[in-house]
Amino acid sequence: MLLRFLLRRLLYVVPMVLVTTLVVFSLILLIPGNPALALLGENATEEKIAQLNHQLGLDQPIYVQYADWLVRALHGDLGRSLFTGEIVSSAIGTRVGVTLQLVVFAMLIAILVGMFFAIISVIRPNSWLDYIARLIAMLGTAVPNFWLAMLLVFLFSVKMKWLPATGFVSITENPGKFLENAVMPAISLGAFGAAQITRQLRSSLLEVLDADYIRTAYAKGLGLWGVIWKHGLRNSFVPVVTTIGLLFGSLLGATVVVETLFAIPGMGQLAVSSILQRDFPMLQGVVLVMVILVLAINFITDVIYAIVDPRIEY
For residue range 93-144, what is the model confidence (pLDDT) as tens digits? 888 899 999 999 999 999 998 888 888 887 777 777 778 877 877 877 788 8
Angstrom distance (rounded) from CA 313 to CA 309 = 10
Q: First-to-last CA distance in the chain?
A: 7
3-state secondary structure of 1: coil
Give every CB contact of residue 140 below 8 A, 6+ residues apart in sequence.
191, 192, 194, 195, 196, 198
pTM > 0.95: no
Domains in the chain with CATH codes: 2-74 (no CATH), 88-308 (1.10.3720.10)
What span, in angstroms and rounded, lies between the C-alpha atoms of 293 and 280? 20
In DSSP terms, which residues pair with 88 in a beta bridge?
Answer: none
- Phi, psi at 87, each rounded to 5°: -65, 125
Q: Are 125 and 211 in contact (CB under 8 A)?
A: no
Q: Are 208 and 231 in contact (CB under 8 A)?
A: yes
Within 8 A by CB and 6+ apart from 148, the residues are: 187, 188, 191
187 to 106, 200, 308: CA distances (angstroms): 6, 19, 27
Residue 215 to residues 55, 69, 185, 223, 285, Cα–Cα distance (Å): 73, 60, 43, 11, 54
With a cut of 70, list the residues of the chain below it in pLDDT: 1-2, 5, 27-46, 49, 52-53, 55-59, 223-226, 231, 306-314
Q: How far apart are CA 82 and CA 73, in angstroms?
A: 17
User: Distance between CA atoms of 290 and 274, rounded to whole angstroms?
Assistant: 15
pLDDT of residue 186: 92
Q: Within 10 A of 3 (CB to CB), how many other CB atoms are there?
A: 8
Residue 2 neighbours by CB under 8 Å, 6+ apart: 306, 314
What pLDDT digit, counting tens, does each position of 34-59 carry?
Answer: 666 656 666 666 677 677 667 666 66
What pLDDT does 108 receive? Answer: 92
> Running DSSP on this structure, what letter comes out for residue 87?
B
Q: Are 298 and 250 in contact (CB under 8 A)?
A: no
